[in-house]
């Protein structure tokens, strides 16, 4: 039951970052459950004081629910970074493992992992790690598809839950911390041509929209 509660709260929190109220259908789709099952669980969470639920208008986390969600997200992202750094697991594999480990992390082990990693602020995909007190600061990065030609930029954030896409991006060198240059942005939603190191690639706009970057200043280049 504890794991199910945490899974629901985490999903609701993430969707809520894009829209104030979250529909039960969006929750069901994200968790891969039926709409009636999602509605039943949402009603239970409302009774526990973890969210506010208005039929046909969606749900909204309470302060207590958001606090639990952020703690689970913190555990997940700390595990991802630990697996990547300490065990040298590839970027496309750490998310699934962290999904299993995030529900079983004591405060003592959490603090030990945090200290061993140097109190990090981002996970290996570039997602921000909530602080111990539940603060989460979302960085103001731009989607790659919005960057004009002739710009150099640092890759800062990539999707965390699409292994095939992550393997593809790794082959192109488009991983957090990589420096690239936008060579051309084709019109009419055409591909983005870019250079990473000595190699040039063309990627579709859909993929470009899922990569977040930070324009580089001249000293960094």
Q: What pLDDT is recorded for position 169?
A: 96
Which top CATH class is 71-138?
A: mainly alpha
Instruction: Count CB-CB contacts under 10 A for residue 189.
Output: 10
Q: What pLDDT is recorded for position 34?
A: 95
Q: With a cut of 70, list the residues of the chain below it in pLDDT.
A: 218-221
Question: Cα–Cα distance between 137 and 119 in angstroms, integer?
Answer: 15
Question: Cα–Cα distance between 33 and 36 in angstroms, integer?
Answer: 8
Cβ contact 201:208 at 8 Å: no
CA distances from 172 to 39, 175, 205, 206 (A): 42, 8, 15, 16
Which top CATH class is 2-61?
A: mainly alpha
Cβ contact 158:95 at 8 Å: no
Instruction: Count CB-CB contacts under 10 A for residue 97.
Output: 15
Give domain limits for the chain. Answer: 2-61, 71-138, 142-220
- Report the relative pairing of strands 51-54 and 179-185 from DSSP bridges: unpaired
Homologous superfamily (CATH) for 142-220: Ferrous iron transport protein A (FeoA) (2.30.30.90)
Rg (CA), the chain: 19
The separation between CA 118 and the C-alpha centre of its own chain, rounded to angstroms, equals 20
Counting every residue written for the chain, the total comes to 221
Q: What pLDDT is recorded for position 220?
A: 46
Question: Cα–Cα distance between 121 and 127 in angstroms, integer?
Answer: 8
Q: What pLDDT is recorded for position 218?
A: 59
- The answer to pTM > 0.75 is yes
Q: What pLDDT is recorded for position 98?
A: 96
């Amino acid at each position: 039951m504890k794991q199910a509660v945490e899974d629901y709260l985490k999903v609701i929190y993430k969707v809520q970052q894009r829209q104030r109220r979250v529909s039960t259908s969006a929750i069901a789709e994200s968790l891969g459950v039926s709409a009636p099952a999602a509605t039943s669980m949402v009603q239970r969470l409302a009774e526990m004081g973890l969210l506010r639920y208005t039929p046909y208008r969606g749900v909204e986390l309470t302060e207590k629910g958001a606090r639990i969600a952020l703690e689970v997200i913190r555990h997940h992202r700390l595990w991802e970074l630990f697996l990547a750094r300490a065990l040298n697991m590839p970027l496309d594999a750490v998310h699934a493992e962290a999904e299993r480990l995030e529900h079983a992390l004591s405060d003592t082990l959490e603090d030990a992992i945090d200290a061993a990693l140097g109190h990090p602020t981002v996970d290996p995909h570039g997602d921000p790690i909530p602080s111990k007190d539940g603060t989460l600061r979302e960085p103001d990065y731009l989607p790659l598809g919005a960057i004009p030609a002739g710009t150099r930029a640092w890759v800062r954030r990539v999707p965390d839950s699409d292994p095939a896409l992550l393997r593809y991006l790794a082959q192109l060198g488009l991983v957090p911390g990589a420096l690239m240059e936008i060579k051309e942005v084709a019109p009419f939603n055409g591909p983005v041509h870019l250079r990473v190191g000595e190699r040039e690639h063309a990627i579709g706009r859909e993929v470009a929209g899922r990569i977040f970057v930070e324009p580089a200043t001249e000293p960094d280049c």
